[in-house]
Amino acid sequence: MEIVPIPADSYTLGFIGAGKMAESIARGAVRSGVLPPSRIRTAHSNPARRAAFESFGATLLPSNEDVVRESNVVVFSVKPQLVKDVVVKLRPLLTKNKLLVSVAAGVKLKDLQEWAASDRFIRVMPNTPAAVGEAASVMSLGGAATDEDGNVIAKLFGSIGKISKANEKFFDAITGLSGSGPAYIYLAIEALADGGVAAGLPRDLSLSLASQTVLGAASMVTQTGKHPGQLKDDVTSPGGTTIAGIHELEKGGFRGTLMNAVVAAAKRSRELS
């Protein structure tokens, strides 16, 4: 069957599952102007989740079947352990003219395509900063997904942060880095704030300074294009305060510990998937 192109300027977007990630994607698309709310639909029995989507103008339908029927692009945003049952149930409606997308962690394209009886699938791994429009997302295209399909999804997920394209074989490592990475940074912010308190700062001021410092440092890396090692050197004066702090971090194995955390999370992702 010939692949029917997705109308990039007028397609309808349906979410199977209306949780926090689906809400973040939908809100980001509306906020950025990628889609008007009138072209977004979902179905959910939970009043709180229905209210969340209704609050920005999305259409609430009676069932997932209705969502699929009325959507050109269908995003599966349900818990990984539920994906198979949900996809199989909807399979008769998942025709080749629909672009299917999964954001379920650990669920491989080959399984998604088998359950849906459709290879027009794109797997995307966003992370939780999608909620504030700063996601680090990666996508991998299934067998029948076209470059044009990829462009549609890149624009959609670009509305909630930055998106890259990669071979699916890298997804476990991506899970270990960007999927689990926000938790490592939250620990670092908490530890920096505790250090400030230990040095005599009020808790509120210390936490504010720690979080803004991490945000600013990350922005320096992304906006200047400089290697983080160079940026570190730029702020490290001979015999100064920064090198004294870095010396303590190196004695504690800071870099090696972070590397080990990414590798351990990637290994666990492989085990789970």
Residues that constitute the known binding site for NADP(+):
16-21
Going by the annotation, the residues of the binding site are 16-21, 64
Distances 256 to 189, 259, 261 between C-alpha atoms, Å:
18, 5, 9
CA dihedral defined by 4, 5, 10, 12, rounded to 10 degrees? 60
Residues at the binding site for NADPH are 64
Amino acid 76 reads: F
Query: What is the distance between the alpha carbons of residues 239 and 241, in angstroms, rounded to a whole number?
Result: 7
Three-state DSSP class for residue 200: coil
Residue 90, Cβ density class (10 Å: 0-12 exposed, 13-18 middle, ≥19 buried): buried
Helices (H), the chain: 20-32, 47-54, 64-69, 80-90, 109-116, 147-158, 171-174, 181-198, 203-224, 228-234, 241-251, 254-272
Q: How far is residue 258's CA from residue 256's CA, in Å, rounded to a whole number? A: 5
